[in-house]
Chains A and B, each alone.
Chain A
Amino acid sequence: MKVRDLTELAARNLREAVLRNTLTTLGIGVGIASLVAMLSLGVGLQRLAAQRLERSGLFNAIFVRPNSNFRRFGGPPNPAPPEKSPPLDLKARQTMARLANVLQVYPQIRFLTEIRYAGNSYPTAVAGIPESDRASGAFDGMEGRFFSSPTADEAILQIGFAQRLARQPATLIGKQMTVRYAKREPLTAAESKKGSVNEGSSPSGAAAGFSIVLQETHLQIVGIVKTDPEGFGGFGEGQLLVPLDVAEALHATQVTDLRQVLQGASPQPTYAALTVRVTSPTQVPDVEATIKKMGFSTFSLLDTTRNLRLFFTVFDLLLGIFGGLALVVATLGIVNTLVMAILERRREIGVLKALGAADRDIRQLFFWEAGVMGLLGGVFGTGLGWAIGRALTFGTDIYLRRRDLPAVSVSFVPWWLALGAVVFAVGVSLLAGIYPATRAARLDPVEALRYE
């Protein structure tokens, strides 16, 4: 029989037992819907995690420190001390910035400060924030806004700190505050020679010191952020966030400065750590290897992401198994419907055979009916699964909003999942149709015609 004739006859047969076939198709639909909803949840959460991590810049970042800094606190000393590391100074920073596929190299700037606001003093920690953090997700849902420019004399407060400044933190936005900090100033040649000023000189007598001067600057509060400064994606305990360029220009004394003096290193300021941002996560290993060759210690999150992907693969598998169970029930429904149809249509099969239908025609007819039910069930189920996913997202949105958290999409149906679900539904239905179709094809026409 031609495909069009098969389709017409199959459609007619499906219409004739409309209730039973609709229920079977709904069964397939529900099975596929549960599968799609489960997997869309897996895909959505994976996508959400990947987006968050990608936006955080952790995927395409390499953290660089001088070799000697990697001794663990409280841990045993390195059995074989690494080769003497070159200083992580401006020169090293510029060299790294010139490497291929490097977008940006910036230091981690953290220093202690005292804030003067409304006649009171508040000790706190300042963190320099690079412009690239604007889209990192850490500032989603903040009150106020991000810095107007990388050099603006503006500050964003962490909510905990803002609450110390005012009962209603929102009222702080737009206000000016005074920041007092210890500025690092290089020694003049004469001071250095005397070796008596402030933080001394190197044992060898080489100039390796600086003086500390109390300085003040004024910043305008432009935003309040809720991200936990000590949590993942936080600001390294910084509660007062300023543009990185502004923080650098202040030349504030950092903890590492003291270590530098004690080690008698170069008189040039060095960095405790640098963050090297590359064009894409795939470039991380190459750039990381080059920096290691320069004599620095590096760390990136590539291994962590590999583990994350493994986790989501297992997660998807488990969700797929739960969704698949519903589909197994639906498959049994197809087999049952088609076997019942054989009993009901025994005489019709006999008539078709008497008129010249070959076994193959009967088999194809039953297959076609199973396939059409699978197709309709697959399309319906995919739509229903998508709707369930949307409902989950909607519910999650309400829940998150009640807790003042930004909305996220927990479920996502990519095109391959939609297409795969429909193909899968048709495939499973055809598989379920094998037994009934073969049984129908083998019916003896004389027996079938005798059946009342």
Chain B
Amino acid sequence: MMGAISTASDGFAIRAERVSRHFQMGETLIRAVDEVTLSIRKGEFVGLLGSSGSGKSTLLNLMAGLDRPTSGTMIAEGRNLAEMNSRELARYRNQTAGIVFQAFNLLPRMTLEENVELPLRLAEVDRGERAGRVREALERVHLGKRSAHRPGELSGGEQQRAAIARALVNRPTILFADEPTGNLDSATGEEILNLLREINQTLATTIVLVTHEQPLAERFAGRIAFMKDGKLAAA
């Protein structure tokens, strides 16, 4: 059973209510995310800013269903992720959320086409449909002609675009980007954020961008939320 609807999802892509994520390190309790309440509307482009160790990536992992909160409720598209079992969370990550990482995380021995096809394989999409969906996703990120290349043959910017295509191929409603420009030069980083803004505007995909580069976030995100010491400083 999918997570029970605990709050009406009207207009909200994500609602975090007093969400905490604590880690026990020996005798020390680390409050990576501490009682955070945050709402993100559907179609919003939210920048989550904060210094290193502020808890912004941990909060993103909780919203993306990669991790479970220690306490609180995390409602995504009307379902409480905290109540989902691992299989339901996997389906959420496959169907509802798309995730882009700083390190691209493309599988190096697969071509771009094969990398982008992976979420479709996991979703058991018919083979006949897959090629079209992969082509569409790669063309959206302007990599239609590089589909047969392996990640190692591409620049950092191209690899990140391929990772975005992979995140989009299952047509998610929320796209989570964890420092997507962290491994790129500023011009390429800007290019990537332009692409995310284009996706946000044309597909109405909700975008949650984690970054520590405030000027970039201020230029592209519609709203900024600040994290400090595991708490939401301002939203």
| Chain A positions 428 through 452: 1 when the CB is less than 8 Å from some CB of chain B, otherwise 0 | 0000000000000000111001000
Residues of A within 8 A of B99 (CB): 354-355
Q: Chain A's interface: helix, strand, loop or mixed, by majority?
A: helix
Q: How far is the CA of A360 from the CA of B166 in the complex (A)?
A: 22
Q: How far is the CA of A350 from the CA of B170 in the complex (A)?
A: 18
Asked whether A355 lies within 8 Å of B124 as measured between CB atoms, the reply is: no
Contact of A359 among B64, B90, B121, B170 (CB under 8 A): B90
Number of interface residues of B (CB under 8 A): 26
In the assembled complex, A398 has its CB within 8 A of some CB on chain B: no
Most chain B Cβ neighbours within 10 Å, of A347, A355, A357: A355
Residues of A within 8 A of B64 (CB): 354
Distance from B160 Cβ to chain A, minimum over Cβ atoms (Å): 14
Among B101-109, B131-139, B186-194, which stretch is in contact with chain A? B101-109
Q: How far is the CA of A445 from the CA of B99 in the complex (A)?
A: 12
| Chain B positions 80 through 113: 1 when the CB is less than 8 Å from some CB of chain A, otherwise 0 | 0000001100110111000101000101011000
Within 8 A of B (CB), among A353-368: 353-361
Asked whether B122 lies within 8 Å of A1 as measured between CB atoms, the reply is: yes
Distance from B94 Cβ to chain A, minimum over Cβ atoms (Å): 2
In the assembled complex, A303 has its CB within 8 A of some CB on chain B: no
Distance from A349 Cβ to chain B, minimum over Cβ atoms (Å): 11
Summed over the interface, the residue pairs from A and B with CB atoms below 8 Å come to a total of 66
In the assembled complex, A83 has its CB within 8 A of some CB on chain B: no
In the assembled complex, A404 has its CB within 8 A of some CB on chain B: no
Asked whether B93 lies within 8 Å of A449 as measured between CB atoms, the reply is: no
Residues of A within 8 A of B66 (CB): 353-354, 445-446, 449
In the assembled complex, A103 has its CB within 8 A of some CB on chain B: no
Q: How far is the CA of A347 from the CA of B110 in the complex (A)?
A: 15
Asked whether B109 lies within 8 Å of A12 as measured between CB atoms, the reply is: yes
Distance from B164 Cβ to chain A, minimum over Cβ atoms (Å): 13
Contact of B109 among A16, A351, A354 (CB under 8 A): A16
Distance from B62 Cβ to chain A, minimum over Cβ atoms (Å): 10
Q: How far is the CA of A347 from the CA of B105 in the complex (A)?
A: 8
Asked whether A358 lies within 8 Å of B87 as measured between CB atoms, the reply is: yes
In the assembled complex, B17 has its CB within 8 A of some CB on chain A: no
Within 8 A of A (CB), among B30-65: 61, 64
Q: Which residue of A lies closest to B90 (CB)?
A: A358
Interface size class of chain A, counting residues whose CB lies under 8 Å from the partner chain: 20 to 34
In the assembled complex, B195 has its CB within 8 A of some CB on chain A: no
Q: Which residue of A lies closest to B122 (CB)?
A: A356
In the assembled complex, B229 has its CB within 8 A of some CB on chain A: no
| Chain B positions 121 through 150: 1 when the CB is less than 8 Å from some CB of chain A, otherwise 0 | 111100100000000000000000000000
Contact of A352 among B61, B122, B170 (CB under 8 A): B122
Q: How far is the CA of A12 from the CA of B107 in the complex (A)?
A: 12
In the assembled complex, A9 has its CB within 8 A of some CB on chain B: yes
Residues of A within 8 A of B69 (CB): none
Within 8 A of B (CB), among A325-354: 347-348, 350-354
Distance from B206 Cβ to chain A, minimum over Cβ atoms (Å): 18
Q: How far is the CA of A445 from the CA of B92 in the complex (A)?
A: 14
Asked whether B107 lies within 8 Å of A354 as measured between CB atoms, the reply is: no
In the assembled complex, A402 has its CB within 8 A of some CB on chain B: no
Residues of B within 8 A of A355 (CB): 93-94, 99, 118-119, 122, 166
Residues of B within 8 A of A354 (CB): 64, 66, 93, 99, 101, 105
Distance from B66 Cβ to chain A, minimum over Cβ atoms (Å): 5
Distance from A442 Cβ to chain B, minimum over Cβ atoms (Å): 9
In the assembled complex, A84 has its CB within 8 A of some CB on chain B: no
Residues of A within 8 A of B166 (CB): 355
Q: How far is the CA of A357 from the CA of B170 in the complex (A)?
A: 13
| Given A351-B107, A446-B67; A356-B87 close (CB under 8 Å) | no
| Given A9-B121, A449-B101, A449-B105; A358-B67 close (CB under 8 Å) | no
Most chain B Cβ neighbours within 10 Å, of A2, A4, A347, A350: A2
Asked whether A356 lies within 8 Å of B67 as measured between CB atoms, the reply is: no
Residues of A within 8 A of B124 (CB): 1-2, 5
| Given A1-B122, A1-B124, A446-B66; A356-B93 close (CB under 8 Å) | yes
Distance from A241 Cβ to chain B, minimum over Cβ atoms (Å): 75
Give 30 A-B contacts (CB < 8 Å), ordered by A residue: A1-B121, A1-B122, A2-B121, A4-B127, A5-B121, A348-B107, A350-B105, A351-B107, A352-B118, A353-B66, A353-B93, A354-B93, A354-B101, A355-B118, A355-B119, A355-B166, A356-B90, A356-B91, A356-B93, A356-B95, A356-B170, A357-B90, A358-B86, A358-B90, A359-B90, A361-B90, A444-B67, A446-B66, A449-B101, A449-B105
